[in-house]
């Protein structure tokens, strides 16, 4: 019977290191993933909370200070800081100044200050926000009948209604009666304003376009036959006749527009501001008004929903800091779709040639390296290239051949949505080529060989066997291209994006599609609000709201593409 082998002492057992077993790497990768998710979720949470709260109606406060001033508006921010000595010099009364210093000293040398959106901007009053120190405030209240008024121009207005005017007469002299009269007549005034705007857009503007088209036709005849030729003289006569008849029609339409505007402009709401002055605001200039301190929760929710609907469906106003972003939404979607239509076929064809047809060697390797390096080129470089090549070279050539009568005013020789789409297509082309090549390489060689064995040609094999099974990978490249192209701002700033472009690239006027037009874009809109707005504080909430909308739009476009990719994968890959 064999003797049992003695067990070595515990201290002599060889221990493996923590790195050898891999637990440390598991923890490291897990923590890295958690940090990445936390950063993404934190970013989305900040954007969602700040953006979602932008349109919630707030109470209106009235603050009276020790020096007799009074301000009224919505609380925008509260800050705590250590005031310097000169801050107290704004208090004229010596006793009040010393009392304020004592209160701040008792609080540890710190004080709070309130940042109020006081609005009431005008050509003579440009400032719409005010800081008020807490040690200056002697009385704070929320007036029952304080109104928040959103105007078409100059932003918001805060005041207490004291009367309602119809023409030169006042028909209401109390806040309740003035508010009731406003509610009764505001819709009528808005209808008159909308009717005037529609008449001007549908009648006056087309008549102006008719005159301009006639002038361009005469200019084209001049370019073709020469100035002073019989053909040119006949074209000038036709233009003069068209202009004479059209101007008569335009004058009549313009008179109807002015009549509608005068009909709606006879009503005005008289408001008393915080300093006791009275101001008249015409009802046609008011987009929305509500007694902020009298609203219940459901009424606030109604105002919130109305503001969101306006944001999604209306044109911007007040230097893009108020109103809606519908032109920017439309421009972003059209640009992204046009870019996708251009880049996917080009990228797939390029990848097919590199993978299926080109003889592998040094030249093909250099092309692949160039494509990979192209993905790292700064986007502004693509914008400069698009501006110089598409706008100044191709666009200028198109103008000389087809639109010579419009020169020196360019038609295609300037920024437009077509050139912006082509520029973004070049920007995202490496992504589509690389993803498509990987998808083509993943198709098993046995499937190609089986197709060849059945007598299929190379193109038949690619079209019927390889491409269908590579489509999920192609869709992955398209999704990445959409995600990158939809948020790019630097290139499109140079090749077509505009601060304000109410004329959409697609509309109901012939020829219905206008690829030469400038367009608005949500990414450029965010840049303009954040860095170019004349009133940065007023535009700050809209930055978060527009960012939230852009993220949501990109997610929707990606979800559609992911759904299509999933169907293709279930059809081909799972079947295989």
Is residue 455 exposed (0-12), middle (13-18) or buried (19+ Cβ within 10 Å)? exposed
266 CB-near residues (< 8 Å, 6+ apart)? 166, 167
Q: What is the CATH number of domain 329-573?
A: 1.10.3720.10
| Phi, psi of 109, deg, nearest 5 | 85, 5
User: Which SS3 state, helix, strand or coil, does residue 343 take?
Assistant: helix
- What CATH number matches the domain at 60-142, 2.40.50, 2.60.40, 1.10.3210, 2.30.30? 2.30.30
Nearest CA-CA partner of 134 in 152, 107, 153 = 107
The Cβ of residue 324 has, within 10 Å, a number of other Cβ atoms equal to 18
Nearby residues of 416 by Cβ (< 8 Å), 6 or more positions away? 391, 395, 495, 496, 515, 516, 517, 518, 519
**Interacting residues of 160 by C-beta distance below 8 A, sequence separation 6+:** 143, 145, 146, 147, 175, 271, 272
- 452, with CB counted inside 10 A (0-12, 13-18, 19+), is middle
Q: What is the CA radius of gyration of the chain?
A: 33
User: For the packed helices 536-568 and 467-485, what is the interaxial angle rounded to 10 degrees?
Assistant: 180
Residue pair 44/551 in contact by the 8 Å Cβ criterion: yes
Cα gap 397→391, rounded to integer Å? 9
How far is the C-alpha of 179 from the C-alpha of 357, rounded, in Å?
A: 76
Fold agreement (60-142, 329-573): no
Residue 182 CA to residue 446 CA, distance in Å, equals: 78
Which residue bears the tokens 């990414």?
523
Contact 139, 64 (CB under 8 A): yes
Question: Would you call 117 helix, strand, or coil by DSSP?
Answer: strand
Bridge-based pairing state of the strands 316-317 and 267-272: unpaired
Pick the closest to residue 78 from 37, 43, 115 (CA basis).
Answer: 115
Structure tokens at 205: 């503007």
Domain coordinates of the chain in residue numbers? Answer: 60-142, 162-294, 329-573
Could you tell me the pTM of the whole model? Answer: 0.85
Kindly write down the DSSP assignment for every residue of 479-491, as one continuous string: HHHHHHHTT--HH
| pLDDT tens per residue across all 576 residues of the chain | 455 556 555 555 456 565 555 677 788 888 899 999 999 999 999 999 988 888 999 999 999 888 788 899 998 888 888 887 777 777 777 777 777 788 777 777 788 888 888 888 887 777 888 888 888 888 889 999 999 999 988 889 999 999 998 888 888 778 999 999 999 989 988 888 888 888 888 888 888 888 888 888 888 887 778 887 888 888 888 888 888 888 888 888 888 888 888 888 888 999 999 888 889 999 999 999 999 999 999 999 999 999 999 999 988 887 788 888 999 999 999 999 999 999 999 999 999 998 888 888 888 888 888 888 888 888 899 999 999 999 989 998 998 888 887 778 888 888 899 999 999 999 999 999 999 999 888 888 888 888 888 888 888 898 888 888 888 888 888 888 988 888 888 899 999 888 888 778 887 777 778 888 899 999 999 988 888 877 777 788 888 999 999 999 888 888 888 888 888 777 765 545
């Amino acid at each position: 019977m064999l003797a049992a082998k003695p067990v070595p002492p515990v201290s002599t057992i060889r221990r493996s290191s923590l790195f050898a077993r891999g637990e440390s790497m598991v923890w490291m990768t897990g923590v890295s993933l958690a940090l990445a998710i936390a950063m993404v979720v934190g970013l989305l949470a900040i954007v969602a909370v700040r953006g979602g709260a932008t349109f919630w109606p707030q109470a209106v406060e009235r603050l009276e200070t020790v020096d007799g001033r009074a301000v009224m508006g919505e609380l925008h921010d509260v800050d705590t800081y250590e005031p310097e000595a000169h801050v107290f010099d704004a208090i004229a009364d010596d006793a009040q100044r010393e009392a304020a210093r004592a209160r701040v000293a008792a609080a540890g040398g710190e004080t709070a200050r309130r940042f109020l959106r006081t609005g009431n901007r005008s050509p003579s009053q440009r400032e719409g926000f005010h800081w008020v120190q807490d040690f200056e405030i002697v009385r704070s209240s929320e007036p029952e009948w304080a109104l928040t008024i959103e105007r078409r121009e100059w932003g918001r207005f805060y005041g207490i209604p004291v009367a309602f005017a119809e023409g030169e007469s006042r028909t209401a002299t109390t806040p309740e009666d003035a508010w009731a009269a406003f509610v009764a007549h505001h819709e009528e005034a808005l209808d008159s304003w909308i009717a005037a705007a529609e008449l001007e857009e549908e009648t006056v503007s087309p008549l102006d376009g008719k005159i301009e088209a006639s002038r361009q036709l005469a200019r084209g005849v001049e370019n073709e036959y020469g100035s002073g030729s019989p053909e040119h003289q006949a074209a000038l006569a036709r233009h003069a006749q068209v202009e004479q008849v059209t101007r008569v029609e335009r004058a009549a339409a313009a008179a109807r527009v002015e009549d509608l505007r005068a009909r709606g402009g006879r009503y005005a709401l008289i408001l008393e501001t915080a300093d006791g002055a009275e101001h008249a605001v015409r009802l046609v200039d008011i987009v929305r008004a509500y007694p902020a301190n009298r609203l219940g929760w459901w009424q606030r929710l109604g105002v919130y929903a109305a503001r969101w609907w306006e944001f999604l469906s209306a044109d911007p106003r007040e230097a893009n800091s108020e109103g809606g972003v519908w032109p920017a939404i439309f421009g972003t979607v059209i640009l992204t779709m046009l870019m996708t239509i251009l880049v996917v076929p080009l990228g797939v064809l390029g990848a097919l040639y590199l993978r299926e047809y080109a003889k592998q060697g040094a030249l093909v390797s250099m092309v692949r390296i160039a494509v990979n390096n192209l993905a790292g080129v700064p986007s502004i470089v693509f914008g400069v290239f698009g501006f110089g090549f598409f706008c100044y070279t191709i666009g200028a050539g198109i103008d000389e051949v087809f639109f010579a009568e419009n020169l020196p005013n360019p038609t295609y020789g300037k920024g437009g949505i077509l050139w912006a789409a082509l520029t973004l297509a070049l920007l995202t082309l490496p992504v589509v080529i690389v993803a498509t090549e990987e998808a083509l390489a993943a198709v098993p060689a046995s499937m190609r060989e089986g197709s060849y064995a059945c007598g299929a040609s190379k193109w038949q094999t690619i079209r019927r066997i390889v491409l269908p099974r590579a489509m999920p990978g192609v869709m992955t490249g398209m999704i990445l291209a959409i995600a990158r192209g939809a948020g790019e701002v630097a290139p499109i700033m140079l090749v077509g994006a505009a601060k304000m472009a109410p004329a959409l690239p697609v509309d109901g006027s012939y020829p219905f599609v206008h690829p030469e037009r400038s367009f608005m874009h949500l990414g450029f809109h965010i840049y303009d609000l954040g860095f170019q707005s004349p009133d940065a504080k007023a535009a700050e909430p809209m930055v978060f709201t527009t960012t939230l909308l852009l993220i949501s739009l990109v997610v929707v476009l990606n979800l559609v593409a992911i759904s299509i990719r999933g169907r293709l994968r279930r059809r081909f890959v799972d079947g295989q």
